[in-house]
Each structure stands twice: as C-alpha cells, then as structure tokens.
Amino acid sequence: MKNHGFFRAIAASPAVHIADCNANADEIIKILQDVAPEHPDLVVFPEMCVTGYTCADLFHSTTLLRGAMDALEKLVAVSADMDATFIVGMPLVEGGTLYNCAVVVARGKVAGVVPKTYIPNYNEFYEKRWWAATPTENRTISLLGEETPFGASLLFLVGDTTVGVEICEDLWTPVPPSCNAAMAGAEVLVNLSASDDLIGKYEYLRALITQQSARCLCGYIYASAGYGESSTDLVFDAKTIIAEKGTTLACGKRWVHGSQWVAADIDLEAIRRDRLHTGSFHDCFNRTTEAHFYETFHAGPGAERAEDDVLRFRNVAPRPFVPADSLSLDANCDEIINIQVAALCRRLEATHCKSLVVGISGGLDSTLALLVAVAAFDKLALPRTGITGVTMPGFGTTSRTHDNAVELMRLLGVSMREISIVPAVTQHFSDIGHDPLVHDVTYENSQARQRTLLLMDIANQTGGMVLGTGDLSELALGWATYNGDHMSMYGVNAGVPKTLVAHLVRWMARTTHDTDAGKILLDIADTPISPELLPPTADGEIAQVTEDLVGPYQLHDFFLYYTLRYGFSPRRIYLLARKALGGSYDDATIVKWLRTFFRRFFAQQFKRSCLPDGPKVGSVCLSPRGDWRMPSDASAAAWLAECDALSSK
C-alpha cells in the first residue's frame, strides 16, 4: 500500500483579501508552495476562499464572478507542476444559478465541482439571498473549456484513497452529506467552511467533527476562513482541524495574523480495517438510498514519500493502552477499577459466593486482583475476612516480595495463610524422578501447578472460588503455566495489559487513605517483574526477571495493541514502533522482540482457547468467547518471515 497506508492531509486557512480574487489566489499558491516539501496528498482550503466569504451582495457582481474564474484558471495552471490535490471554495454560476462550490484541482485540471447541499437561512448572512441549494442529480458542466463533473454526489480518488466533500452547514444538519459519502466509500471527508467564532462554538465544533469522523469511520479535514474576512458583524478565527475515527489528530492555531496550516497523517489501513470489521457500517449502505447515487472520479495520484517521512505528521503513543495526560489516565484507572469491581460483584452474586481465594506473591498482578477483591467485598458489604490471601513461598521467593505480600494483606484486613510449596514440590520431584538441580521448565512449572492446586483446594475448604491474577500481556505471550496460574474460577485481570497494571497499582497507591498501604503498593510497582521460580541471587535479589526472558512489556504491549486492534502486519507495527519507541530501543531490538511476540502469540493460542471468564476493560481482549477467535494450530510462518525480512534490512 502506498506510503504504508498513511494519507497526508493539510487543512489551510489563507489570509483573505475580500473581493480581490487575484490576491486570494496568490495567498493560496503561497501556501501550496510552502507545503510542497511536506509532500501532502491533499490540501483543503476554506469555503469561498477565492473571493472571501463575506462579500455579501458582491456575489451577484459579474466583476467578482469573472475575477473568481480568472483566479481558478491561475490555480489550475499552477497545479500542473504539483503532486498534491487541493480543494478551494468559490462561487460558480451554472445554468443561470449561483452555487457555493468546492472545486477539486489536480495536475492541471479540475477533477470536479461539489456545490453546497444545505444553504442556511438563520445566520447574519442569510446565504439563500445569494446561493442556491445543490441540484438533486449530478451533471457535467463546461468549466475552463473542459467537461467537468458537477454535483453533490461526487467522490474523488486521490491515489488509492476515496475522498468526499461537503461545505460548512452540511456538517451541522441531522444527516450530513458526508454520511452518505462515507457509505458510498469515502475514506477521507473534507469540509470547506467559513465559521465565525462565538463563545463556546469552537469546542462544540471540535466535538461535532470528531464525532462525525467516529460515526463514519473516516478521516475528516476541516478548513475554515480566518484573518482578513470582514469584521462588520462577525469575526473569523481560522479553525483548521483534522480528525480520525473519533480522535483529533491536529488543530491549527486560531487568531493567527495571516495565513496558517496544519498537517496530519491519516491512517487509512486502520480505517479500512475498522470498516471491514464493523458489520453495521455496511448495513447502513444498504439502507441509505442516497449513497447508491455517488460517482467516483480520478483527481491526483497522491504524493510519494520516503519511508522515514510517512509518519512525520502523526503522533504515535509509546504506550497505546496508557493515556499520556494525567487527567485522562486517572479517569481511565477509575473506570477500569469500576469495571473490574462490578464484574466481580456480579460473579459473586450469581454464584452466591461469599469467599474468595487469591494467591498473593507480592507482584503487580496479584496485588491488583487483591485490591479489586477488597473493593468488591466492600461494595457488597461483605467482611474482608471472606477473602483468603495465600502466600506460597518457593525456591525463588525473595524477602522483598514475601514481606510486601504479607504486610499488604495485613493492612487490608483479609484472612491470611502462608504455605511453603518447597516440601511438596521437593516430594514431587522425587516422585517423577526430576533432579532439583536442573532448573528447567519442569522445575518451574511444578511450582506453578503446586500453587494452583493449593488455591483450588483452599477454595473447596472455604466454599469459595479462586480469583485469577494473570493479565492480558501474559495471555498474549503465553507467559503462564498451563493448568497452573493459567487457570482460575474468574480472571479479573484478563483484560488489563501489563503496562496498565503498573499504572493502576500506582493510582491505587495515590488515592488510598492508608498511607502505609500506599507505600507498600509503590514498592510493589517498583519491584522487577518476575515469576520467582528460580533461586535468588547470592545477595537475595530476584534472579529471574521476566523482561530479560520474553522482552520489555512496553514493546510487547505496543505489538499487542496493533495486532489485536487493527490486525497490522509486522512491517507496519515495526514502522509505528520506530516512531513511538525509537528513542528507547534500537531497530534491532524492536525487530528481535517483535519476532518473539509473533512466535509466542501463535504458539500459545491453545492456552487462550480455554481461558476462564474475565471482564473486558478496553478496546481489545483475548477472550475466546468474544474478541479473539483463532485456531490453536494456525501457522505463524508468514508473520515470522516478514519479521526476518526486517532483520535483514
């Protein structure tokens, strides 16, 4: 796919010279020249940018209309040497009627003209005084000596990307034309606007744009008039906004004294995947009569960009599961805990269960599960003593994790049990004839299964159920012992990735009223992640660090998100990872762990095929009953071959 499936869009707001079409054309050309080094695919200018939106009754002047046509001819001539397609707004007389139009220009010709569908009659300009609503059917008109498509139901191919056009008021209607355009195949929608500023209007408009991009599963480019428009009654603030599937990618500065533009790289592959995955989107096409009348015409070929340049105008979050700003992170943490608590409460009520058994290791996952269990019991007005926390020291347990586990259980007021697994596992080694000095997978998994056996039997004793602690990242990598920590009666952390678990524990530490418990939680969050199945070092420190074995969870969670959420290829995930994490990991490291991720992800599906129930908390999860259904014997060959090709670059 061209440019790795990224479409570079620019929303521009040139300085306006009211009724001076030649000067306006020069301002547009200057912006086109300024953005040319960025290799955009599409540049969108505001409504009536060729004349100025506030010309009022001058729109019926033949001098102004002739000037607009001369300016268009100038712009078309300049476009012959440009890669980018651009769209400008201007008045156009057709069949004795004046229309407010968006003119699509590419490679020395006009690809088509889209008139404004809905003409407002409530604002200070009362547009129906000058302009007519769009004709009901597309037609062909003669423009600059060429036969040109004209109508509201036009789509344009820019490279391999389908673009739909609407103008200002169209977006504010109950059924915007962009909805029909999206149903007809438009992946990027544009809006040429002249929107004045009023108190509160900007935030409302931003919400409207992002919601339309979410509803239509598309990119949305909005360019509005700015400096130079008449201030007789209104003031224009140059709103330039680019959104994608409910997220604002870029916003230009408002109140700029002159011209300004903003750029973003729209992810077409993500848009196409979501449309493919969303059955209701295609159902809407079948129920939307207007969408069937759209016609598609070629505009420009789109720009060619070097691989290192395709993401220059796109921010890629290094932790896609973790919001970057603290307010959003706090809100997400609160929401996730509430989801987990509500899910566990429902399961306890449905099973008439008043007892939970949790294995507490002093690590992140078991700590989060214990905190959720305590919150659920408090919500149900059940005594915390109904929660039995079991610490089960083994060959690799360190004093740090053991002491944190015991002290946290004490501070939370749950029932505590401590059972060393060393005698039982030693006997087990003897029974199966395993040398305890051989620290292999048998040595490790025997300990994990012994712990699960104890938890299950204690649950029988107490008339309760075992609360699982494994998280989403471990499930993706298969970093769990089959029929060991892999199994429980309810996996409360199953939808939470490891990078988010750490933030949840830190958030709980900050928000708890118990300062002693908060200190324990912070120390747990700072403890290296480890299953502690191998003996400690000589100085009593953790010898088995998980991330040394399977790779950094920051990388794996990044790979996991783009694999599950969008089904991206290894090459594309690598491209995104270099942009987001290149400052922390070199290319060879990213490729190494990317290959590990796909190798383990495919090979370990059999563990996910029989997972316990557990709540989904984010946009992706690995439940075999819901989000992820994959045969356990699927081959990873194609994915690994692509990783190997990256290694050889």
* pLDDT, tens digit (0-9, with 9 covering 90-100), for 47-94: 999 999 999 899 999 999 999 999 999 999 999 999 999 999 999 999
Helix, strand, or coil (residue 113): strand
Alpha carbons within 13 A on the beta-carbon side of 145: 5
The alpha helices in 201-267, defined as continuous H runs, are 201-215
Where do the domains of the chain lie? 2-309, 326-647
Q: What pLDDT sits at residue 424?
A: 97
Closest CA to 501 of 478, 531, 473: 473
How confident is the model at residue 231, as a pLDDT? 77
- Asked if the model's pLDDT at residue 125 lies above 70, the reply is no
Residue 544 and residue 265: Cα distance in Å, rounded?
42
**Identical fold at 2-309 and 326-647?**
no
pLDDT band at 281 (very low <50, low <70, confident <90, very high): confident
CB 448 within 8 A of CB 336: no
- pLDDT exceeding 70 applies to what percent of the chain? 99
Q: Do 395 and 364 touch, CB atoms closer than 8 A?
A: no
Q: Please, which pLDDT band fits residue 617 given cuts at 50, 70 and 90? A: very high
CA distance 322 to 338: 17
Separation of alpha carbons 220 and 284, rounded Å: 19
Q: Concatenated DSSP letters for 54-93?
A: GGGGGGG-HHHHHHHHHHHHHHHHHHTT-SSEEEEEEEEE
Instruction: Note the pLDDT of residue 233.
Output: 78
Instruction: Report the alpha-carbon distance of residue 618 to residue 495 in Å, rounded.
Output: 7
Kindly report the backbone phi and psi dihedral angles of residue 161, in degrees, each rounded to the nearest multiple of 5, phi listed first.
-105, 130
pLDDT tier, 385 (very low <50, low <70, confident <90, very high otherwise): very high
The CATH architecture annotation of domain 2-309 reads 4-Layer Sandwich (3.60)
Q: Per-residue confidence at 465, pLDDT binned at 50, 70, 90?
A: very high
List residues bridging with 267 in a β-sheet. 6
Long-range contacts of 143-146 (CB under 8 A, 24+ apart): 143/92, 143/110, 143/113, 144/69, 144/72, 144/73, 144/76, 144/110, 146/109, 146/110
CB 573 within 8 A of CB 618: no
In tens, the pLDDT along 183-242 reads: 999 999 999 999 888 888 899 999 999 999 999 999 999 999 998 887 777 888 899 999
Tell me the C-alpha distance between 168 and 180, whole Å.
Answer: 16
The answer, yes or no, to whether residue 124 has pLDDT greater than 60, is: no
- pLDDT above 90 covers a percentage of the chain that reads 83
What would the mean pLDDT of 455-475 be, rounded to a whole number?
A: 97
Higher local confidence (pLDDT), 392 or 535: 392
Mean pLDDT across the chain, nearest whole number? Answer: 93
Residue written as tokens 């400052």?
Answer: 583
The Cα-based distances of 577 to 460, 572, 598 in angstroms read: 46, 9, 15
> What positions carry a catalytic annotation?
47, 116, 168
Residue that is written with structure tokens 């086109």 in the block: 32
For the segment 572-591, the average pLDDT, to the nearest whole number, is 96
What pLDDT, in 10s, does the model give residues 622-634? 999 988 999 999 9
Q: Is 380 exposed, middle or buried (0-12, 13-18, 19+ CB in 10 A)?
A: middle
Give one DSSP letter per residue of 133-200, joined into a string: PPPSS-EEEEETTEEEEESSSEEEEETTEEEEEEEGGGGGSSS-HHHHHHHTT-SEEEEEE--B--TT
Whether 389 shows a pLDDT value over 90: the answer reads: yes
Nearest to 364 by CA among 470, 444, 258: 470
Among 145, 131, 143, 137, CA closest to 103:
143
Q: Is the pLDDT of residue 403 over 80?
A: yes
Q: What is the arrangement of strands in the sheet containing 260-267, beginning at the earlier edge strand?
A: 139-143, 146-150, 109-115, 97-106, 85-94, 42-44, 6-13, 260-267
Protein fold of 326-647: Rossmann fold (3.40.50)
**What residue type is assigned to position 342 of the chain?**
A
Rg (CA), the chain: 30
pLDDT tops 60 at residue 158: yes
Fill in the DSSP letter of residue 426: H
Instruction: Tell me if the pTM is above 0.75.
Output: yes
Q: What is the mean pLDDT of residues 304-327?
A: 91
**Main-chain dihedrals φ then ψ at residue 143, nearest 5 degrees:** -140, 120
Using one digit for the tens of pLDDT, what is the confidence trace for 232-251? 778 888 999 999 999 999 99
Given a cut of 90, whether residue 150 has pLDDT beyond it is yes
pLDDT attached to residue 121 = 76
Determine the Cα–Cα distance for residues 496 and 553; give it in Å rounded to an integer: 13
pLDDT for the residue numbered 529? 84
- Look at residue 621 and tell me whether its pLDDT is greater than 70: yes
pLDDT tier at 122 (50, 70, 90 boundaries)?
Answer: low
- DSSP secondary structure string for all residues of 636-647: -HHHHHHHHHHH
The average pLDDT across 117-139 equals: 82
CA dihedral of residues 520, 525, 529, 534 (deg, nearest 10): -10
The enclosing H or E element of 562 equals helix 553-566
Query: Hunting for tokens 């509005």 — which residue is that?
Result: 224
Band of pLDDT at residue 449, cut at 50, 70 and 90 = very high
In one-letter notation, the amino acid at residue 558 is: F
